[in-house]
Chain A
């Protein structure tokens, strides 16, 4: 046995008290159910857990109240105002611009055009910045959101390949985050799609990639976690007619056109989000 100084040690991935104390509502959001069910304990928890942070908390609450009015996008057919409890977060609806569906396989029915993930992030940030909505691309919310995804693995067994069910748990990373407002945005790129899409059996040699479906799953998990205010954008993959692929000499031009359409669709998603914030009198500044 000897003294061996450790040269490098990864900083553990659970927060410090200092990180946590800035977000006292987490203490309330993650109280044991049996405490929540007891009025005395719940009242004590609220007053004791917040302690001398109550002023900050109230201030935060006020800033939250400005933008937390409804839990998610209003149902156009429902005029009722959906007021949420003060300590829950909200997640904007999915803004539909672009089909968000592509297909792969031996016969390419509708070759998808993707926006490069970095490029997409930049487009979103620029559009938001125009409205003075600023997001940090390096920060992440304190609370982690872990998504469960059902997958199939192909394994060799005695010279044969067999499918095996497997469940993956993966952390969702936000592409931009405003720490002060605890607000994040997430772009469902092809990488996120691969990470968070559940396995579905293919009915032919063509597989469909439905980005909106995966985006809805991510939205739903963010809502369930109830820890961070968020909006999810998705890879637009604009619809094009199949016969546009016919003329191979024009393919390059067609692809460029589709790319432009994709970029426009993404900008439209962001623009809808900003409009929605205004309509709902939600202030992020």
Chain B
């Protein structure tokens, strides 16, 4: 189970597409709320708990991150609890420094860096309060970050404005040393047919790059393609990739209210209608109501041949784009119809060529472990 702690609603950036835009008067999570959140999580979810630090910008409250991890570690040491925590933080990278990176490595805190690609793609949306692009400020931290966290996730957002840089941005990130590219479309953006044509072209470019890298036996992960290949290769098991609204993850706002997913928290105050309980009383009946609504068959999707491979199960995306948990966005429908055939052609091509990296990555369940073992062997040699 993943529990996202929204440590603060303040942020040092002002990104145009942010779904939890910074509030003028930042709300901070207190240590008491953190303690209660951990207590609640241990009570509800037992042994394996992933704590994710989110914001605003969570690195504005490094002290709270250190505090939370410290509390969890001490609980882990108490044998009677049999607890196992793991930690992740999603950051804009502005406040990364060696001290924090050293701490993250020692404490097993995994970092996800929000970066949209090269400077052109990134600076279009990810700006400081004064309108200046933030790329130059995070770029200088990347080498150190990769040194401490070679498996760091690069979290890309592709919007209508920067879609033309999509493939080039992924290539830039891979060449920069990132291996895990988690790319999402900004579905709330103002997409038109021209943008969709561009998106198709960019997916085709990505398909060629993906094949090239696989041929070169490079190790990398490009989420839109990997997840779509998985919907065919792993079939129903692919459910593990979906959030299952509040069943696999929840978000806790600075005030202790529980939400089904990060996007519902917004500024931590204004969207309380979607709160599904709080850390003192636990879940209320809304949790089940929302979940049941989220798994209802979607209008227009029932008879679609791509239904089982479509991302239409993402309730927060549906809600963000249509205002309804169980109503799919036409934009999502368009983009899925573009993506799936491109990924399938790529899958067929790579399978026919029997590319070893493709076969290992997609069909060998032990691949992540083997890949890490290989890295370990290589780093020891060096």
Contact = CB atoms under 8 A, between A and B. Distances in A.
Interface in B203-251: 217, 232-235, 237
A181 interface: no
Nearest to B344: A12
A14 B351 contact: yes
Contact of B365 (A33, A40, A51): A51
Contact of B356 (A8, A21, A30, A40): A30
Nearest to A12: B344
A225 B363 CA distance: 18
Nearest to B341: A9
Contact of B352 (A1, A5, A32, A146): A146
A4 B306 CA distance: 11
A51 B366 contact: yes
A35 B359 contact: no
Interface string A3-43: 11111110011111110110000110011111100101100
Contacts of A38: 374, 377
Contacts of B188: none
B351 A2 contact: no
A128 interface: no
B300 interface: yes
B191 interface: yes
Nearest to A143: B354
A171 interface: yes
A45 B235 contact: no
A23 B192 CA distance: 46
A81 B288 CA distance: 68
B374 A41 contact: yes
A225 B352 CA distance: 11
Given A4-B333, A40-B373, A31 B348 contact: no
Interface in B323-349: 328, 330-331, 333-334, 337, 340, 344, 347-348
Interface in A35-88: 35, 38, 40-41, 44-45, 48-49, 51
B330 A1 contact: yes
A26 B359 CA distance: 9
B334 A1 contact: yes
A217 interface: no
B289 interface: no
Q: How large is the interface on A (under 10, 10 to 19, 20 to 34, 35 or more residues)?
A: 35 or more
A144 interface: yes
A3 B196 CA distance: 14
Interface in B226-279: 232-235, 237
B337 A41 contact: no
A21 B362 CA distance: 11
Contact of A32 (B193, B301, B356): B356
Contacts of A3: 299-301, 328, 330, 333
Contacts of B301: 3, 5
Nearest to A4: B333
Interface residues of B, number: 46
Nearest to A13: B348
A44 B337 contact: no
B360 A27 contact: yes
Contacts of A1: 191, 193, 196, 330-331, 333-334
A144 B347 CA distance: 13
A27 B333 contact: no
Nearest to A11: B232
Contacts of B351: 13-15, 144
B373 A44 contact: yes
Contacts of A49: 364-366, 370
A27 B359 contact: yes
Nearest to B230: A17
Contacts of A14: 232-233, 344, 347-348, 350-352
Interface string B159-179: 000000000000000000000
Contact of B237 (A17, A20, A31, A44): A17
Contact of B232 (A12, A26, A32, A41): A12
Contact of B370 (A15, A16, A44, A144): A44
Given A3-B328, A17-B233, A30-B354, A41 B373 contact: yes
B303 interface: yes
A212 B54 CA distance: 68
23 contacts: A1-B196, A1-B331, A2-B330, A6-B337, A7-B303, A9-B305, A9-B306, A12-B344, A12-B348, A13-B348, A14-B347, A17-B235, A18-B235, A27-B359, A31-B356, A32-B217, A32-B356, A41-B370, A44-B366, A48-B366, A49-B364, A49-B370, A144-B354
Interface of B: 191, 193, 196, 217, 232-235, 237, 299-306, 328, 330-331, 333-334, 337, 340, 344, 347-348, 350-354, 356-357, 359-360, 362-366, 369-370, 373-374, 377
Interface of A: 1-9, 12-18, 20-21, 26-27, 30-35, 38, 40-41, 44-45, 48-49, 51, 143-144, 146, 171, 225
**What are the 8 A-B residue pairs with the smallest beta carbon separation, nearest first?**
A48-B366, A5-B304, A14-B351, A9-B305, A3-B300, A12-B344, A1-B330, A30-B359
